[in-house]
């Protein structure tokens, strides 16, 4: 039983640290998080007149669904030329519910 508890603790620590290194994101807000961050900006000041958003959703840290790709965001906004990409992240109790959105901007 003692070995099982050690292994479970080690697994929890490993999953926690692996989650921190997988994606481009901010450090987690363990109770609540709602942030936006910039991923890529065009070289000019013009980021376009249209924007589109595509999101992925996670429940209990076990089930993830949705298409959060740049292509899906561009299609949703009717964008033909993507000039800038931003991301937003929302989570409750870190793994209870999470949402990561890609925001494409362009013309």
Contacts of 83 (CB under 8 A, 6+ apart): 42, 44, 46, 47, 48, 105, 106, 107
Residue 32: per-residue pLDDT: 84
Per-block mean pLDDT, blocks of 10 residues, the chain (107 long): 80 66 62 78 72 92 89 91 88 87 90
Q: Tell me the whole-structure pTM to 2 decimals.
A: 0.68
3-state DSSP assignment of residue 73: helix
């Amino acid at each position: 039983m003692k070995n099982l508890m050690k292994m479970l603790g080690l697994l929890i620590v490993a999953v926690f640290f692996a989650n921190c290194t997988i994606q481009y994101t901010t450090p987690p807000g363990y109770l609540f998080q709602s942030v936006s961050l910039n991923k890529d900006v065009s070289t000019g000041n013009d980021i376009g007149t249209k924007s589109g958003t595509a999101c992925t959703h996670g429940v209990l840290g076990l089930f993830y669904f949705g298409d959060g790709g740049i292509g899906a965001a561009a299609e949703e906004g009717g964008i033909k030329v993507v000039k800038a990409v931003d991301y937003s992240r929302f989570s409750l109790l870190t793994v209870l519910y999470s949402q990561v959105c890609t925001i494409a901007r362009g013309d």
